[in-house]
Structure 1
Amino acid sequence: VKQGIREGEREREREREREREREREREREREKRERERERERERERERERERERERERERDYTFHSFLNNFYYLNN
């Protein structure tokens, strides 16, 4: 009888260990997804910075074109 009790305790401990391992695996997956979301957010921020730089270049080009035209029209 005592051996059966010990076997049952060992089996419950193994099941608890398997559950802890499943929880660790779920945690690793959550962390992995969070890192991927953070990388995607950073890529989006970089794309936005690049769009802003492009808008700046267009404004600069437009402004300098205007100045050049203004200069040539007035000389």
Structure 2
Amino acid sequence: KKKKKEKKKNDKKKKEKKKKEKKKKKEKKKKEKKKKEKKEKKKKEKKKKEKKEKKKTEKKEKKKKEKKEKEKKKKKKKKEKKKKKKKKEKKKKEKKKKKKEKKKKEKEKKKKKKQQQ
């Protein structure tokens, strides 16, 4: 009888131990899962952040490029305007010169005519 009781006690103890072990294992698994999920979440967040940063940088770069292009165009336009102005000035000068020449010639002609008389 005593032995039987002892066995029962031992069995109960074993059962308890097993139960505890099972619980422990379950807890561990749960913890691991949580840890993994946290890690995944962090990874996802990081990726999201990086994507956002990339987009931001790209936008900035695009703006910079556009600004540069605009400046280039502006400069070109200015240059063209200057060129045109110069051309116009040159033409004007040429015209003036020609007029002067003509006048001079006319004067000479008149002078000659006078002398011939």
Instruction: Tell me the TM-score normalised to structure 1 length.
Output: 0.95
| C-alpha separation in 1, matches of 2:57 and 2:70 | 20
* Alignment partner, residue 58 of structure 1: 100
Instruction: Quote the offset at 1:19 in angstroms.
Output: 0.3
- The AA in structure 2 aligned to 1:12 is K
Match of 1:9 among 42, 51, 67: 51
Task: Tell me the matched-pair count.
Answer: 75
| C-alpha separation in 2, matches of 1:39 and 1:65 | 39
Provide the alpha-carbon RMSD of the alignment: 0.7
Instruction: Quote the offset at 1:56 in angstroms.
Output: 0.3
* Alignment partner, residue 88 of structure 2: 46
| 1:8-38 residue CA offsets vs partner (Å, 9 max, x unmatched) | 1111111011000000000000000000000
**Percent identical across equivalent pairs?**
11
Residue 27 in structure 1 maps to residue 27 in structure 2: no
* Alignment partner, residue 68 of structure 1: 110
- The AA in structure 2 aligned to 1:25 is K
Instruction: Quote the offset at 1:72 in angstroms.
Output: 1.0
| C-alpha separation in 1, matches of 2:44 and 2:87 | 64
| 1:33-66 residue CA offsets vs partner (Å, 9 max, x unmatched) | 0000000000110111011001101110110001
- The AA in structure 2 aligned to 1:13 is K
